[in-house]
Chain A
C-alpha cells in the first residue's frame, strides 16, 4: 500500500534551518510529484511547493522563495524539504503529499491522494 512517512518533530530557534524528510513506499516514486504543505494552528493548509522526482524540477510558492529548498533521492524513494531563516510564524505542522493527475479531455487536474502523517516544527527561543 502507498505510504508517505515523515521524519519527526523538530524544535528550532529563530534564524535556524530545518530539513524534513518524506520516505515513500508502495508505488513508483518517480511517477508522481511530491508537494509540501504546512498548516499553522487554527489556519487552513498552505501550499509551499513541489518537486518532480523524475526530472528534479521544482516550483516554489513565492512566499517561500529564497528560504525553501526541495530535493529528492530516487535511490531511496525519498523527498526532502529544507526551510531556512526560521521565524516564529513558521511554527506549523508540515506535510508531504503525493499529487495524482486527473486527465479530463486534455485538462490535467492535480489532487493530493496520499499524505504523510505530518511533522510539527516549533520555532521557539
Chain B
C-alpha cells in the first residue's frame, strides 16, 4: 500500500499570506495526486486533480505542483493570498493504485 505523508501537520498564517503544504508518496505515483479542502461539518471539496489541474469553480489562488523524481513522489499545494474561508484542513490523496490513500492532513489556522 502507498503511504502519503503531509507536512506540516498544522500551520498558522494570516489573511493575505502565501502558504505551502507538501505531500510525499512512499513510492512513485507519477501525477496521480489530488488535493482536498475539508471544513468542519462539510463534505471535502476537491481543489486540485492530477497534481496541478484546478477544477472550475476553485479560485485561482490555489495551485498544485509536482517535484522530485520522474516517478512522482513529492507534491506541493500552494495557496496565494489567504482568504478567511481558506482556514480548513487540507488532504492529499493518491489514486495511482488501490487502496487509494490520503495524507494525515494539514490544519491551516488563523494566526
Question: Is B50's CB under 8 angstroms from A104's CB?
Answer: yes
Given contacts A44-B102, A61-B98, contact A111 B50 (CB under 8 A): yes
Count of chain A residues with Cβ under 8 Å from any Cβ of B? 23
Question: Is A118's CB under 8 angstroms from B43's CB?
Answer: yes
Count of chain B residues with Cβ under 8 Å from any Cβ of A? 25
Question: Is A61's CB under 8 angstroms from B102's CB?
Answer: no
Given contacts A43-B104, A45-B91, A62-B99, contact A112 B31 (CB under 8 A): no
Distance A59 CA – B99 CA, assembled complex (angstroms)? 9
Which residues, 38 to 57 on A, are CB-close (under 8 Å) to B? 43-47
0/1 per residue, B59-94, Cβ < 8 Å to A?
000000000000000000000000000000001010
Question: Is A102's CB under 8 angstroms from B104's CB?
Answer: no
- Residue of B49, B91, B99 near A111 (CB, 8 A) is B49
| A37, chain B: closest CB distance, angstroms | 8
Distance A118 CA – B43 CA, assembled complex (angstroms)? 7
Which residues, 6 to 37 on A, are CB-close (under 8 Å) to B? 35
Interface residues of A (CB under 8 A from B): 35, 43-47, 59, 61-63, 95, 102, 104, 107, 109-113, 115-118
